[in-house]
Amino acid sequence: MNGGSTQEPDFSDFVEVDPTGRYGRYNEILGKGASKTVYRAFDEYEGIEVAWNQVKLYDFLQRPEDLERLYCEIHLLKTLKHNNIMKFYTSWVDTANRNINFVTEMFTSGTLRQ
């Protein structure tokens, strides 16, 4: 069920790179919700595609408890280690663009029912 691909990335297509330079984000949106956008990205170290999750902080500045909940969810994802749970790789705050970013394993098809 793992949708990771090992194709060669086109580094010129990256629109953003994480602070370590390991992960590059493409402009291709995989999914979008009320407060989060998920982009296709590439892990240059492992050579696999990953999901770059981006949360706009201004969406959470209305209520402090929402921001606290987001931090708790990210912390929980970091601690979970199980074959049936999506892998969490890294997270960081982009203060210049007022985003919280986190990189996870990418699943490209199927549903929880399948």
37-60 per-position pLDDT tens digit? 999 999 999 999 999 999 988 766
The CATH number corresponding to 11-105 among 3.40.50.720, 3.90.550.10, 3.30.200.20, 3.40.50.2000 equals 3.30.200.20
**Per-residue pLDDT tens over the stretch 90-107:** 999 898 998 999 999 998
- Rounded to the nearest 10 degrees, how much is the dihedral formed by the CA atoms of 88, 106, 32, 38? 60
- pTM of the shown model: 0.79
Report the 10 Å Cβ neighbour count for 113.
Answer: 4
